[in-house]
Structure 1
Amino acid sequence: MSEPGGRSASGEDRYTVVSADCHAGADLLDYRPYLASRYHDEFDAWAATYVNPYEDLMADTADKNWNSERRLAELEEDGIVAEVVFPNTIPPFFPSGSLIAPAPTAEEYERRWAGLKAHNRWLADFCAAAPGRRAGVFQILLNDVEEAVKEIRRSVGAGLKGGLLLPGTPPGSGLPELYSSTYDPIWAVCEELDVPVNHHAGSASPPLGDEPAARAVFMVETTWFSHRALWHLVFGGAFRRHPGLKLVLTEQGSGWIPGVLDMLDYYHQRLVAAAARTSTAESKFGAGLAASMGRGPSEIWRENCFVGASFMRAHEVPLRDRIGVDKIMWGSDYPHDEGTYPYSREALRVAYAGVPRAEVAAMIGGNAARVYGFDLDFLDAIAAKAGPTVRELAEPLDETPPDATSPVFARGGSVRVW
């Protein structure tokens, strides 16, 4: 297993840290030049009355989302030399952040589609401002598959190498479920262009309202709704038809993966076996499943899937062999409050102190470089100055920073289960 990293001027070995989960976006009015000109008047009218629902996007620190120089400086200060960039701010014509906005109606589709394409164009410029250090994740909508495929090709051609952000199809969306072969052209072009399909937490939950209980239920359920993309694509046969397809599940935790794979293997084996016994009540559930899926769920995971293990916590780390050390990609979630900035070094110590060096190197940088196409030789030179030292991350963290807000540091969040 490779050990990406550089050697500092003092001779100490350093890790090359790539965050597989960061977020960015333009300030609202700065999207205007990236919109097709025919939408400018509509955008001006919409923006004039739009009220941003997110306090962090109205604060003095909001420019972390679009201030390239500030961002580079803060990430380097935090020990991070490259990032995978998911969306964060409000794209044109959206009621909220695109990750959690409901699927648009037919009437809303045209304007929101124009808004997402504007974001993708802005993101290409944002990534170009830091060559080799940002992999931008471009967005699509699922309402029109042919248009989505065109935008995938255009975005990759524009230099966005972070791959596709797959929207969810929550209950009530009116869209075909993700297991549908309707989406095969999307899987095919991502396989052809060798870019991953990313599915981020929050993008598949149904609307629940604003009551206190609803917000708590959202926190409990949002990752589960995001997990659904895994079994939809597995049972839908997407990986049999497109064996080179890569699926990345980001900011959904990682400790759930071994148990879910066991469950999926159980149902796969049970239903395939039942299909051979035509007289049983379950036989119809397994009919055609073996032919449509090909390999079993665990094998598909090993060959095709990865986890963006945002602010990975210590109790998840002992499961790394069952998840696959080569599948795990740590992320800081910058600039979110639940992210690890400015204590990413401390967060890495919480999770990885005592873990073999080669495994740490893979999980906090090497795997993301491989999946998203970063040049490690280039990044290692930056890490020689900015990266955390091997000796530093080997030391357990004795004292939590008092103003840290990431769940990594929450009570019980650093308990190891060996």
Structure 2
Amino acid sequence: MTTNTTPTTTTTGTRAEATTEATAEERYTVISADCHAGADLLDYKPYLESRHHDAFDAWAATYVNPHEDLLADTADRNWNSARRLAELEADGIVAEVVFPNTIPPFFPSASLMAPPPTGTEFELRWAGLRAHNRWLADFCAEAPGRRAGVAQILLNDVELAVREVRRTKEAGLTGGIMLPGTPPGSGLPELHSAAYDPLWAVCDELQVPVNHHGGSASPPLGDEPAARAVFMVETTWFSHRALWHLIFGGAFRRHPGLRLVLTEQGSGWIPGVLDMLDYYHGRLVAAASRTGTTAESRFGAGLAATMDDTPAAVWRDHCYVGASFMRPHEVPLRHRIGLDKIMWGSDYPHDEGTHPYTREALRLAYADLPPDETAALLATNAAHVYGFDLAHLAPIAARVGPTITELTHPLDKIPPAATSPAFAPGGSVRVW
């Protein structure tokens, strides 16, 4: 939390703790751990290597953008830095973790949802993602200390990915990397494969968070109405898979500083899934250790050597959740998930995001929480994971952040124009 007084600051590691004299109404520092941005299509050209310019011109001349929100009058929220800062501040948000949104060069759609490239597509797709990363570094530099940009990579060539992690870290992107999915049929090794160890090693070495965003691992299902409905049902599950792949694959044991962030996938599922993973871990390790051979012992062979700890313990030591537009029914699970593991996100500028009703969404979810817990969910945890300096953000929060009194006042009416799942039926709305 910050107040509109001048804070004094102590810093431990990457976490800055701001303490203040409570001489005025205290305000929360709010960091959104899930926002999206990208350049307008033609503005990516200067960020491409010159040898790709002719190919870019030919591609851009015939490209038809499939995303309505990127053709609307509000599309410039993705790249208009001044507008973006103003709208986030109006929502009480002072800093953001920036995931991609617009169409990178040579992609058929936004990269988050695009299928992994084939061998012939790889070179140009890779050039397009590197152009986005260069653009993003400049975009983040327009608001120093307020944007943690998430770099994009592809998994087709792990050595190239490792080099891009190093380059983007040096370029000032502090949001880590966005881990692509390996959906069924992609032809890529599964995420539990040791083939990715060089990638985990460099992220451990450089303290680069590995982010896996919802929607990025689903297989193609077609365009029928049923396919779209099935996608909505299944997409978060396919994104969750990265958790058990990395856990059972032993990535965290081999790379003890590795951190995984699962973003915009909900959070209420986590306790139950950890219980399930612990169950299978215990069952398979026990079966493998018994004298004699059983059918089940084959499934647990080598698992104890691969993993030092239970899945729940791995979660506790290595994993976080970007809890975009956290809903009221998820909040009572916060201690089972881990209060220090949850980072709230607004999902700006998406329609399902909380803008421009972020304050109302926070009141709906967090009105009953102690202020220190709310402060952890809104800022302290994200500052720890992504390296935000809370002392740097404090004067901005003192000007625009929501007050403690405001967020502890229960919401009595859902804004009629709100489109975020934060306000979906099932949340508790109480009359004050």
Which of the five TM-score ranges fits, normalised by the shorter chain? over 0.9
**Contact 2:214-2:236 at 8 Å conserved across structures:** yes
Return the TM-score normalized by structure 2.
Answer: 0.94
Correspondences of 1:8-407 after superposition (within 5 Å): 11-277=24-290, 278-407=292-421
- Separation in structure 2 between the aligned mates of residue 130 and residue 404 of structure 1, nearest angstrom: 28
Query: Aligned with 2:419: secondary structure?
Result: coil
In the alignment, does 2:8 pair up with 1:7?
no
Deviations 1:165-209 (A, max 9, x none): 000000000000000000001101011111100000010000011
**Residue deviations 1:225-255 (CA, integer Å, cap 9, x gap):** 0000000000000000001100000000000
The whole-number CA distance in structure 2 between the counterparts of 1:206 and 1:69 is 37
Secondary structure of 1:232 counterpart: helix
How many Å separate the matches in 2 of 1:187 and 1:58? 37
Distance, in Å, in 1 between the alignment partners of 2:60 and 2:380 is 41
Contact 2:93 2:400 in 1 (8 A): yes
1:247–1:304 contact (8 Å) kept in structure 2? yes
> In 1, distance between residues paired with 2:101 and 2:390?
27
SS in 2 for 1:160: coil
In the alignment, the residues of structure 2 paired with residue 380 and residue 33 of structure 1 have an alpha-carbon distance, to the nearest angstrom, of 35
Question: Which SS does the other structure have where 1:198 is aligned?
Answer: strand
1:326 is aligned with what amino acid? Answer: D
Q: AA paired with 2:161?
A: A
Large movers: runs of 4+ above 6 Å: none
Give the stretch that moved more between structures: 9-18 or 284-293: 9-18
Q: Distance in 1 between matches of 2:254 and 2:248?
A: 12
Structure-1-length-normalised TM-score: 0.98
String of CA shifts for 1:339-385, please: whole Å, max 9, x gaps. Answer: 00000000000110010111000001110011000000011111000
Shift in Å, 1:7: 2.8
Q: Which has the higher mean CA deviation after the structures are superposed, 207-216 or 328-337?
A: 207-216
| Residue deviations 1:133-189 (CA, integer Å, cap 9, x gap) | 000000000000000000000000000000010000000000000000000011010
Matched to 1:325, the amino acid is L
Partners of 1:195 and 1:381 lie apart in 2 by 27
Query: What does the per-residue CA deviation read over 1:47-98, in whole Å, with 9 as the maximum and x for residues that have no partner?
Result: 0000000000000100000000000000000000000000000000000010
For 2:111 and 2:369, the matched residues in 1 are separated by 37
- What do residues 382-414 of structure 1 show as CA deviations (whole Å, max 9, x unaligned)? 100010000100011001111000011112234
Instruction: Pick which of 315-324 and 270-279 moved more.
Output: 270-279
Mapped to 1, the partners of 2:380 and 2:321 lie a distance apart of 13
**Structure 2: distance between partners of 1:396 and 1:213:** 38
The answer to whether the 8 A contact 1:314-1:415 is kept is: no
* In 1, Cα distance between equivalents of 2:127 and 2:181: 19
Q: Which 5+ residue runs of structure 2 have no aligned equivalent?
A: 7-22
Number of residue pairs matched? 413
> Gaps spanning 5+ residues in structure 1: where?
none
Mapped to 2, the partners of 1:229 and 1:211 lie a distance apart of 27
What is the rounded CA distance, in whole Å, between the counterparts of 2:427 and 2:331 in structure 1? 12
Amino acid paired to 2:149: G
Q: Distance in 1 between matches of 2:187 and 2:147?
A: 34
Shift of 1:276: 1.2
Shift in alpha-carbon separation, 1:93–1:414, aligned structure 2, 3 A = farther
Please tell me whether the aligned partners of residues 412 and 429 of structure 2 are also in contact (alpha carbons under 8 angstroms). Answer: no
Displacement, 1:415? 6.9
User: Is the CA contact (8 Å cut-off) linking 1:8 and 1:14 kept in structure 2?
Assistant: no
Letter in 2 for 1:52: N
- Encode CA deviations 1:1-38: one digit per residue, 9 max, x unaligned: xxx32336992100000000000000000000000000
Separation of aligned partners in 1, 2:189 and 2:211:
18
Structure 1 CA distance, aligned partners of 2:57 and 2:389?
Answer: 41
- Secondary structure of 2:415's aligned partner: coil
Q: What is the CA-CA distance between 1:279 and the residue it aligns to?
A: 1.8
**Whole-Å Cα distance in 2 between the matches of residues 414 and 247 of structure 1?**
31
Secondary structure of residue in 1 paired with 2:241: helix
Mapped contact 1:407–1:413 kept (Cα < 8 A): no
In structure 1, the partner of 2:9 is none
Kept in 2: contact 1:314–1:413 (CA 8 A): yes
